[in-house]
Amino acid sequence: MTADPTHATPMNAPAPVSDLPALSLARLGAHLRGDGVDVVVVAAQADAVDLVLLEGTRDALTERRIGLMRARHGLWHAHVPGVVAGQRYGLRVHGAWNPAAGLMHNPHKLLLDPYARGVVGELDMVPEVFGHEVADVKRTDRDLGLPDSRDSAPFVPHGEIVPDPLDAEVEARLARRPRTPWSQTVIYEAHVRGLTLLREDIPEDLRGTYAGIAHPVMIDHLKRLGITALELLPIHASATEHAIAAAGRTNYWGYCTLGYLAPEPRYATAAARAAGGCAVEREVIDMVDALHAAGIEVILDVVYNHTCEGGMDGPLLSWRGLDNTGYYLHDGGSPARYADVTGTGNSLDFRRQRVVQLTLDSLRHWAGVIGVDGFRFDLAVTLGRKAGEFEPDHPFLVAMASDPVLADVKTIAEPWDVGPSGWRTGQFAPPMHEWNDRFRDAVRRFWLADASALSRGGGVPHDLRDLGTRISGSADMFHHFDRGPEASVNYVTAHDGFTLADLVSYDHKHNGANGENNRDGSNNNLSWNHGSEGPVDANSPAADILPVRRRSIRNVLGTLLVSSGTPMITAGDEFGRTQQGNNNAYCQDSPISWVNWRRSSSQLALERTVRYLLELRAANPALRPVRFAYGRPRSNEPLTDLSWFAEDGTEMSGSAWHNPHRRVLQMRRASGAAAHPRSMDADGLEQARDALVMINGALNEVDTVIAPSRGGGWELVWDSVWESPEELRDAAIATAVHPRPGERVTLEPLSMRIYLEQKPAR
């Protein structure tokens, strides 16, 4: 084999081509095979591709370049003996520089292998990392016509070769997956760093890391709370987009992928980072294994719709320098321009074979090797676009649904993007589940925005139809393709937007810390500060609103956890954390975004409430039905599967649903013998019970007639008036705890109750 051992060959001249072909072209990337490494790269329009083996520090890099052989279908490859795990590497691609035609090859720029499983080093946003001549990183769109001849290698992340795990190890790992049914799934969305960085009962060197999440303290919190699946904001290797970095900010959330098979090294412990990519990947695997041992699934938020390279004037880091027109969606015009349907500067083109292949290979790696249990797809509509339009049967979506490695993992779509006809909630085909923004808005509107309007003496233009539709499973959107209500991932807050505590404390966003003059973030928050903006001291004249704020939080959480569908809770909402009114904390790697675990007594009471509600949900199938209601009795059932009643105890009429002045609603769900066999407890008594949820969205007390039951009475198991579930033991009036159908009970203003069918006397 011939190879260039130094910089003796000019960087703009291809290195001598290896005379050893890769042992297999079946796997893209760099993989240890036999006495060395196989390297297979896609660069369909390149003239030559060099593998670059790196040694030394950034300040004193040396490189050995090996020219790759050309094969058919845009592949370049070689087998390189003597290469071992831990070797750092990159790629230099030779070819035409013609941005007007979409060609942006520049061998002076060291590119990251899209299939690298280890990524070391961080991106320095300096002029050298751009493919075209740039003097100031704040002004990069001046002239794309002149290629830059400065070496980017000291300023960009490098790939690292990671060995494949043993088959037996992978099989054992996959066998330990919890495989929680969707009907029992409760999702907890969190950021790896922000979740544990301030957790003082975790060792300091583990806080903010994968290992921190795997610590028994963190796992115990999730278990006691009743969480079955931890959904992590992106942990793929990432790099802050140049426009944000040039402004001195960082993309804390990580929705700016640099490597789809490599974990983000910043979230690993210092020891793992120092040891390299192998150790970082091992820390991720150990985290997944620890969560699985506790019965908790791991879902990854993944960003396949765009990359960190930004618009065409962005840095040249990987895909753009390999095959710009083969990876990115273009508008077909001349000069070449990206078709940006993601709002990030670029969109990956899912009409292209190599884009689909890379995405599937990445998913298979994380599910089939790392062992994660599912994926939440950011801006998933982009993944299903073909010729501009979204198609539920897009080849990528069909391939993913039918792939044997991915067949038993959970898949969740964020069902929108910013392109034409980009809102597609409810339009994905199974097995995909979807974030339900209509649920979010309906619950916020009823409990907060409409209540706020009432408190100011205004009218409420919204009737009860949307709320009833959402809490019963959103059949209008999900009752097709043989989907059940659990296809709707119900949420009221997520990483993007106000926290739950801020929803009840702020009428307006307060994003000044983001450095964008408060222009970023949504203005449509459907929030309510209850009369005073922001935090209120207990000794303040406005302190009387604090109990009402806390009740509003409990109303929102209670509604979420009795609704048909799959509930998702955002980290810290279980005890009311705040982001100080920031509803777009994407760039806040700061106490604004970190979860503060120093909880007040009222916060601990809220946490106990959430735990209690999740216990109720888990124990009572009527609170989590697996089928849509038909409005009639199921077989062998005397009760209609789902019934609605007004405050006078009569069934809701059509006119009542359309009346915006009505703010009281009763929802009765039969336990559903057909859908859920009524299981027996240790004494042989049936456990499954009918459920009655009573909601009062008015600002005044309402005397309400209890709805009919199966035959006996009802048992009050939760009232949102209670600061903590312990108040159930303090209920003084027996008829309030065990009312019979037809009896009157008084619902407090802005409150809700959960009743269960009264247990038979023993």
CA distance 617 to 564: 11
Position of tokens 């336990």? 671
Dump the DSSP string for 642-669: EEEE-TTSSBPPHHHHT-TT--EEEEEE
Tokens of 519: 């222009």
CA distance 186 to 706: 30
**If DSSP states are collapsed to H, E and C, what string results for 480-505?**
CCCCCHHHEEECCCCCCCCCHHHHCC
Position of tokens 């209850």? 530
CA distance 375 to 392: 18
CB neighbours of residue 407 within 10 Å: 11
CA distance 681 to 688: 10
**Annotated active-site residue in 414, 466, 486, 719:** 414
Torsion over CA of 237, 243, 245 and 250, rounded to 10 degrees?
-60
Alpha carbon separation from 287 to 86, 210, 319, 342 (Å, rounded): 22, 6, 30, 31
CA distance 331 to 450: 43
Peptide bond just before 335 cis, omega within 30 deg: yes
Alpha carbon separation from 253 to 103, 231, 522, 567, 570 (Å, rounded): 31, 13, 17, 22, 14
For the question of residue 476 being annotated catalytic, the response is no
- Adjacency order of strands within the sheet including 691-696: 642-645, 664-669, 691-696, 751-757, 714-719
Phi, psi values for residue 253, rounded to 5°: -65, -30
The SS3 of residue 18 is: coil
Phi, psi values for residue 448, rounded to 5°: -120, -65
CA distance 636 to 674: 8
H/E stretch holding 359: helix 353-365
**Annotated active-site residue in 128, 373, 378, 757:** 378
Dump the DSSP string for 152-165: -GGGS-EEE--PPP
- Residue partners of 490: CB distance under 8 A and separation at least 6: 436, 439, 440, 470, 560, 563, 565, 566, 567, 568
Phi, psi values for residue 434, rounded to 5°: -140, 145
Contact 573, 550 (CB under 8 A): no
Beta strands in 202-337 (DSSP E): 229-232, 236-238, 257-263, 297-302
Alpha carbon separation from 237 to 112, 158, 159, 289 (Å, rounded): 11, 11, 11, 20
CA distance 382 to 405: 23
H/E stretch holding 62: strand 62-67
Dump the DSSP string for 526-563: ----TTS-S---TTSTTGGGHHHHHHHHHHHHHHHHHS
Alpha carbon separation from 41 to 35, 50, 212 (Å, rounded): 20, 10, 36
For the question of residue 686 being annotated catalytic, the response is no
Distance between the two ends of the chain, CA-based, in angstroms?
Answer: 85
Relative to beta strand 410-413, strand 75-81 is unpaired
The residues annotated with a catalytic role in the active site are 378, 414
